Amino acid sequence: MLKVDLRPAHLAVGSRRIHYGWVIVAIATTMLLVTSSVRFATAALVPYLNDPASGFGWSYAAISFAFSLQWFVLAIMSPYVGWLGDRYGIRRLLLLGVFLFIAGMLLIGIMTSLWQFYIYFGLLLGIASAIFGILLVSGVTLWFRRYLGVAMGAVWSFQGMGVVAHIFLIGAVFDQLGMKWVFWLPGIVGGTLILLLVRFFYNEPAEIGLRPLGTPEHEPIQSLQSDDTAKIRARVFLQQAQHTGTFWNLIIIHCWGCMGHQIINVLVVAIAVDRGLSLGAAAGVLAVQQGTGIFVRGAVPVIAERLGCKSVWVAGMSLQAFPLLIILFAQDTWAFYLFAILFGIGQSCEVPTFQIANRQYYGNVNQGSLYGWQNIGGGLGMGLAPVFAGILWDMTNTYAAPLIMSLSFSLLGLVSALLLPSPRSRLIPDWEEALPAEARLSAFP
């Protein structure tokens, strides 16, 4: 009989040892698959929420603001969530996140007013998204010295699968059970699953007596989240990183890139319907766009690890910008699907690259604070662009205004990517010299 050892520090199947970091990847992937998909897949319901016959009849600007509010909340909360994760560990905050997620999903299912949409979808799910999006992604980086690209590729690609699955859930459940169960099913089933998985999530390898995967055996097992030393290290590192121009440029890239693609994420179904596509065909455009990202997000971190983050971002921003010209001037169904593939590739190059960029520019550090600050740009970009695009559409009564706006933001992201330094050299390799002697890694037993 094949022997299986389920102890986290000694996980093995037969004679083959399995590093617990891969279990962390599976847990983080599952949690993000459940929690992040609703942010994007709900865009498929925009035409329904706009239709007076549905009982809602909200304007595009009003609907877009709900998506924007969720991202504003994420932008505001991200630096605090990232710092708290670096200081106190991730596990405690995940419990708060899962309860906010379940509550938000259940309440959205029974909403009747616009203000409720803003509170439940924008505020509650916004805070939950900050907790899961920042801490799980940055937390995975603590478990890998090698194969980080493969690990992040798995995390981001399966997140894309969650979006596609949620879109198909909307199509399968909406007509039969109504909008309530579109949110209740993933809220109840997914929330319960996440609650169970928190039990098996550990903050860092040292918590179970392991080193990050790929760490040489002669290096001691080091815990950076067990005492007040973590607070000192997190504060000093952030201060040192903020003295580099790249720290701020990464925030700007996240902002421009997200402004460019979130307009499309929220409004592409409505744009396609306005151009004459059926609602089913228009939802298919969004599904193809997000489905393309499943494969691209899996490959991008690996490519970025080998070729450098700058090259990936330059290529991605280009593909996020120029395919917009296709649907700006063409209205055939095939043109929308061609656009969905190209844009899906470009869009999927941006977000999965940040953990690789942080490793390339700043080394093997806790990334919670870094990624938290970077998500200020992402949250503001995802929040500001759709509401302005919705207002412009309402004012001009044409889809052209939001498309041109998206094109402009993506081009600005391309310029910012071109201004990045080479990722082959560390920006602050000696940052620990600013630490008290007792807080440096060399002082740890």
What is the number of structural domains in the chain? 1
The CA distances from residue 27 to 24, 83, 132, 159, in Å, are 5, 22, 11, 12
Flag whether 386 is in a domain.
Answer: yes
Flag whether 443 is in a domain.
Answer: no
Helix (H) or strand (E) holding 145: none
Task: Give tens-digit pLDDT for 63-89.
Answer: 878 887 888 888 889 888 887 887 777
Flag whether 83 is in a domain.
Answer: yes
pLDDT score of 413: 95
Residue type at position 323: P
pLDDT score of 276: 80
- CATH number of the domain where residue 29 is located: 1.20.1250.20
- The domain containing residue 331 runs over which residues? 4-208+225-424
Q: What span, in angstroms and rounded, lies between the C-alpha atoms of 160 and 162?
A: 5
Q: At what angle do helices 354-362 and 125-141 cross, to 10 degrees?
A: 50
Flag whether 217 is in a domain.
Answer: no
pLDDT score of 439: 67
Give the global pTM: 0.77
Q: What is the mean pLDDT of the chain?
A: 86
Flag whether 264 is in a domain.
Answer: yes
Q: Which residues of the chain have pLDDT under 70?
A: 1-2, 40, 160, 223-228, 438-445
Cα torsion angle, 247, 249, 255, 261, sign: negative
Flag whether 419 is in a domain.
Answer: yes
pLDDT score of 85: 80
Flag whether 216 is in a domain.
Answer: no
Flag whether 215 is in a domain.
Answer: no
pLDDT score of 238: 85
